[in-house]
A and B are shown apart, each in its own frame.
Chain A
Amino acid sequence: MPRVVKSREEFEGEVYESLVLVEGKDLPVPRAGTEFVEIAHSRRRIDGPQRVTGRARYTQDIYLPGMLHVRVLRSPYPRARVRRIDTKKAEALPGVRGVLHRFNAPKASFRGEETIFREEVRFVGDEVAAIAADDEQTAVDALRLIEVDYELLPHVVDLEEAIGDMAPRLETDGNVAEAATHKRGDAKRGLREADFVVDATYRTSTQLHNSLETHGAVATWDGEQLTVYESTQHVFGVRQGLRTALKLPFSKIRVLCDYMGGGFGSKGGVGKYSIIASLFTMQLGRPARCVLTRDEENLAAGNRSATLQQLRVGGKGGRITALEHTSWANVGQGKWVANPTGPTNTLYDIANLSSKSYKVVTNAGSLSAFRAPGYVEGTFALESAIDELADKMGVDPLVLRRKHAASPKDPMVGKRYSDKHLIECYRIGAAEIGWQRRRRSGGIRGSAPHRRRGIGMATQIWGGGGGPPAYATVHVNSDGTVVLTTGTQDIGTGTRTVLAQICADELGVELDDVQVRLGDTDNPYGPISAGSLTVASVGPAVRIAARDAREQLLGAAAGVLETPMAELRLEGGVVVTKGARTPLSEILTKVDNNTVIGKGARHPNDPDLSLRTFGAHFAEVEVDVRTGEITVEHVVAVHDIGRIVNPTTARSQVEGGVLQALGFALSEERFVDRATGRVMNGNLENYKVPTVKDVPAKITVKFVDRPDRRANNLGIKGLGEPPIIPTAAAIANAVANATGARVRHAPLTRARVLEALAIAGAKS
């Protein structure tokens, strides 16, 4: 019988309490020393053949008969009132089938606003109108024919200008709003009593996701049912958003996402493009496709906020006495803030601590979650400051951290961690990078006299424990093949493969016999693929569903073989009895057509525990002190995320996180013209994501790989975000170690490195 239970889950640094529906009993964690057949073994991705042949169909690849192509007219101004729109010329263009804008579009709620076309547009890229046409080129041509009368309003796009007194007030309460605070002990007193204090300001620039597949949707309405193909990390979230916008019941909306080309947090829910496509298909009776261009993607589909962060850290007697962290984040027109003080609050056991996080609105595109939102920005500042303090105190920064990193309790909420091996991460990482080679200051000689080498490190804390709700079903066909069904998505992390491994292992069938169906709101509910929670949420439910199916299969086998169930085992698709092996297919074909259905639900987390992932990155860099060029030679990434289900995909995930962090650390930065509010590099030419040649000569990936037995029935935790969190700080610390120059603004471009070198040179 289903029952309602209380649960406590963490999502992207915030903790939520909820009521969830579960059924049956959870399974115990497999005993230590259990030999798995699939789990803990490297396996090729089961969707590999689809992805390497071009057969994998992404949202962008959905072309339906009679489909209309939608393009959106976006505001060229950062803030303006749309007074009049004349679409006569556009509508007269042959092939144009429909136009939507604020004067004719039906009401459709979106993120608390009543319409998707605002009267006051608030950033360059804000939606003004949309055209549906027979082909894309016609839609593009028609956009140029729309005449809009704008009344320009004062604007501000820059974080620090928006905080200042001279900026126009964008909200009635001003541009700055307090978003989060935390206090323990007495930070002011701790700083007064410290022998050494670091008081420094750090900045991080706006990072753009640039998922290779842009946001987009194809919607089709058959008069009864709305089907939306969307590139999303959360089909159920999109369905929820469409229901709110279009006032349709869930039963009439189906959202599908089979393959998707990256999201990194930005594809967490419905977008205006999906609502626009839906409105067109419902009005015009033809499928409608609205897929953003690269430029639109970088204007209106989210970003990682730029931040300004002040840190004060006090030290005395080889320990940290106090920590004060204040952060301001440019959220654009976003309604929330990714909190950079998260790691400050939770990472180290520091008695006196105070943190404040402010949200700053500007006339720029809204933030959206970006892989460890807040934690990447915050860890850069925090871990740079800790190193600066260690340098001032003349102590080894790793030794200093160790003193505050061993606590088995979460210092913010006071609960015990379910498991924690951070000190072990430090030990492994230090050995792999050769920490003993690190000199206190001045670095090591590089490959040429003007090149200095340095070593640095930084720590990672993040959630990733997952939790309910998550459901799965396992259908066993009469030929012994298996279909695992759940509503979550595979955003490129290997979810399909890992879930298939768990299913095959628990069920006792071959991996090749398991098909995984996901990304469909007609499936059992699956969570958002974000917050490093997918596998830790869905995996345990899959295991229960597979166990349920296995028991039913053994029951069936007992009947067919006329053998007591207790004497039967299912291994590799074969029912094994004393002395006999019968393929499952043979047993199931002995009875009439049948489907064995196993069901599983994720059970709640222990509310008295804090579930966290831990890790540490170590970086060795070489800095050309005459040109400011940084070359990252070696990154060691060590993570404590419980049991590893697939070592190969886990390793890939870490490498990918490190490389995305490398972009944040060295080259990725959005530029907005302050006078016009226009994004100057909403493209892949001047927004510099790392290329293959930017990859460090060596990336060493290590896992503690011990099941977190209190986390869930598999002892697994998430890995999506941990590997992007500490890399930038580790690199900045290595650069400072190499050169004595501290760069406090990420990315560490040549300009910033040369400036810091000049300042350091002037001081010494």
Chain B
Amino acid sequence: MAARGPNISNVPLTSARRVVLRGPGATELALTVNGQAVTVQVPPRRTLLDTLREALALTGTKKVCDEGTCGACTVLVDGRAIYSCMTLAVTCEGKRVETIEGLAKDGELHPVQRAFIDADAFQCGFCTPGQIMSIVALLRETPAPTEDDVRRAVAGNLCRCGAYPNIVSAGVNAGKRKR
């Protein structure tokens, strides 16, 4: 069987160059958010969620539990769905972050957003940005997901209003649409 990934048997034990120590105060962070390069000042203890909401005024990503147990803060980092409340912003240096605000292009909703409206896949709407981001991540890997695929993708996104059946429909329907 072919080896996957780097060869892990030869990790160099030699020191490279001086390691930069950042913080504890604010430090400059450069990353890409919704396709735009941004630079923000953040202390290392600031989460990506708080950075998005407060420093970048992207309040579409919601804070619900702030401890990785609800999924409302789901965003994509380098194309994969993660919890931004458990991610320190400083670890996202140079990475590509996508939030709910970046989905609609030229005033046109993303197919997943349209599918959510058509399937009535939300009630209060507070979990919705996270649910949508989870499904967007799924569709990039699985363009025509089954109901089970969608369930697995949003099993980490709680909805207290109980819109789940419609969320699953929206995910499946979004896969059937073309942008």
Direct contact, A vs B (beta carbon within 8 Å): yes
Contact across chains for B165 and A695 when beta carbons are under 8 A apart: yes
In angstroms, Cα B168 to Cα A648, docked, is: 16
Contact across chains for B162 and A51 when beta carbons are under 8 A apart: no
Give the Cβ gap from A257 to chain B, nearest Cβ, in Å.
12
- CB-CB under 8 A for A691 and B155, given A52-B132, A492-B161: yes
Beta-carbon contacts under 8 Å, B143-178 to A: 151, 154-155, 157-168
- CB-CB under 8 A for A684 and B70, given A54-B60, A692-B151: yes
Which residues in B have their C-beta under 8 angstroms from that of A689?
Answer: 158, 160
- CB-CB under 8 A for A695 and B124, given A45-B117, A49-B109, A685-B67: no
In angstroms, Cα B100 to Cα A699, docked, is: 30
- CB-CB under 8 A for A492 and B151, given A54-B101, A60-B62: no
A-B contact count (CB 8 A): 161
Partner of A294, one of B57, B67, B159: B67
Partner of A260, one of B61, B64, B103, B124: B124
Is B113's beta carbon under 8 Å from chain A? yes
Which residues in A have their C-beta under 8 angstroms from that of B100?
Answer: 52-54
Contact across chains for B59 and A57 when beta carbons are under 8 A apart: yes
Considering the complex, give the chain A residue whose CB is closest to the CB of B99.
A54
Considering the complex, give the chain A residue whose CB is closest to the CB of B102.
A54
Which residues in B have their C-beta under 8 angstroms from that of A262?
Answer: 123-124, 126, 160-161
Give the Cβ gap from B166 to chain A, nearest Cβ, in Å.
6
The segment from A209-217, A545-553, A748-756 found at the interface with B is A209-217
Is A655's beta carbon under 8 Å from chain B? yes
Contact across chains for B64 and A212 when beta carbons are under 8 A apart: yes
Is A578's beta carbon under 8 Å from chain B? no
Contact across chains for B54 and A63 when beta carbons are under 8 A apart: yes
Task: Name the residue in A48, A259, A262 with the highest tally of chain B Cβ atoms < 10 Å from its Cβ.
Answer: A48
In angstroms, Cα B6 to Cα A563, docked, is: 84
- CB-CB under 8 A for A294 and B65, given A61-B59, A660-B160: yes
Is A55's beta carbon under 8 Å from chain B? yes
Contact across chains for B117 and A491 when beta carbons are under 8 A apart: no
Which residues in B have their C-beta under 8 angstroms from that of A651?
Answer: 120
In angstroms, Cα B155 to Cα A649, docked, is: 23
Which residues in A have their C-beta under 8 angstroms from that of B118?
Answer: 44
Give the Cβ gap from A105 to chain B, nearest Cβ, in Å.
27
Is A656's beta carbon under 8 Å from chain B? yes
Which residues in A have their C-beta under 8 angstroms from that of B127?
Answer: 212
Is A494's beta carbon under 8 Å from chain B? yes
Contact across chains for A684 and B162 when beta carbons are under 8 A apart: no
Contact across chains for B116 and A212 when beta carbons are under 8 A apart: no
In angstroms, Cα B157 to Cα A385, docked, is: 36
Partner of A293, one of B50, B66, B104: B66
Contact across chains for A51 and B122 when beta carbons are under 8 A apart: yes
Is A693's beta carbon under 8 Å from chain B? yes
Is B29's beta carbon under 8 Å from chain A? no
Is B125's beta carbon under 8 Å from chain A? yes
In angstroms, Cα B57 to Cα A214, docked, is: 20
Is A589's beta carbon under 8 Å from chain B? no
Which residues in B have their C-beta under 8 angstroms from that of A49?
Answer: 109, 113, 117
In angstroms, Cα B123 to Cα A211, docked, is: 12
Give the Cβ gap from A211 to chain B, nearest Cβ, in Å.
6
Which residues in B have their C-beta under 8 angstroms from that of A47?
Answer: 125
Contact across chains for A649 and B158 when beta carbons are under 8 A apart: no
Q: Mark B42-81, 1 if CB is under 8 A from A, else 0.
A: 0101100010011001111111111101101000000000
Considering the complex, give the chain A residue whose CB is closest to the CB of B156.
A691
Is A139's beta carbon under 8 Å from chain B? no
Which residues in B have their C-beta under 8 angstroms from that of A44?
Answer: 117-118, 120
Nearest 4 A/B pairs, CB to CB: A54-B60, A492-B124, A261-B126, A659-B162
Interchain Cβ contacts under 8 Å between A and B, 24 examples? A51-B122, A52-B109, A52-B116, A52-B117, A52-B122, A53-B60, A53-B113, A54-B59, A137-B46, A211-B160, A212-B62, A213-B126, A262-B124, A294-B64, A492-B123, A492-B124, A493-B123, A652-B163, A652-B166, A653-B123, A655-B163, A683-B69, A692-B151, A692-B167
